[in-house]
Amino acid sequence: MKLVVQEFLTLDGVSQGPGAPDEDTSDGFTRGGWFVPHLDAAFEQVAGDWLGEADAFLLGRRTYENFARDWPRMTDHPFAPVLNGLPKYVASHTLTEAGATWDPTTILTGDVPARVADLKRRPGRDLQVHGSARLAQSLLAAGLVDELRLAIAPVVLGEGRRLFPDGGAPTGLRLTSHRTTPAGVSIHIFTTTGSPDCGTYGGGA
């Protein structure tokens, strides 16, 4: 399977709490819900198309707990059959059991990068990471991410947990597609290319 990281970001790179004020208030974050004003039908279509490429989901503990709480009750939502029906894998050193509310779910413990590498060797399409920024950072550092899908909202928060923090893993990227929705969300899709290239500008064309 191809490992795909999908993230909602602000223009200054914050990924924390895009969906609601109380979604993630860790570290005193008070500006959650910043992505919601920029949702429109065009973005819903993009998100649905992405979900249609998934064969499994890989989530961090916090995102898993939020999704497992909410999605089993959202049976009328068009995304619910995919999110509720496909296999879920949770990377966590603290969860001991997934419970029965959001099956099928498997907890990955121990050497998580090695477990994820094993999952990638299975046949299939996308193994999608939704949110789960800390997990995404560790997967980038391990060189396991094949594709980044970034939906960037036209807002600057000035605080909050960022997807690409100082000291994060250097990663080369190649832009494969981009578009902007009527509500102003800028969507960029990148493939990873290993270490980033550097050079010296010499002037001229």
More confident residue, 168 or 119: 119
Question: What is the topology classification, in CATH, of domain 1-13+39-160?
Answer: Dihydrofolate Reductase, subunit A (3.40.430)
For the segment 176-198, what is each residue's pLDDT rounded down to a tens digit?
999 999 999 999 999 999 999 99
Q: How confident is the model at residue 154 (pLDDT cuts 50, 70, 90)?
A: very high
For the segment 30-62, what is each residue's pLDDT rounded down to a tens digit?
999 999 999 999 999 999 999 999 999 999 988
pLDDT of residue 79: 94
pLDDT of residue 101: 76
State the chain's mean pLDDT as an integer.
93
Please report, rounded to a whole number, the percentage of residues in the chain having pLDDT higher than 90: 81
pLDDT of residue 204: 65
pLDDT of residue 97: 73
Look at the pTM and tell me if it is higher than 0.85: yes
pLDDT of residue 205: 61
Q: Is the pLDDT of residue 167 over 80?
A: yes
pLDDT of residue 188: 98
pLDDT of residue 10: 98
Residue-by-residue DSSP string for the chain = -EEEEEEEE-TT-B-S--S-TTS--GGG-----TTGGG--HHHHHHHHHHHTTEEEEEEEHHHHHHHHHHGGG-TTSTTHHHHHHS-EEEE-SS-----STT-SEEEE-SSHHHHHHHHHTSSSSEEEEES-HHHHHHHHHTT---EEEEEE-S---S-S-BSS-TTPPP-EEEEEEEEE-TT--EEEEEEEEESPP-----S--
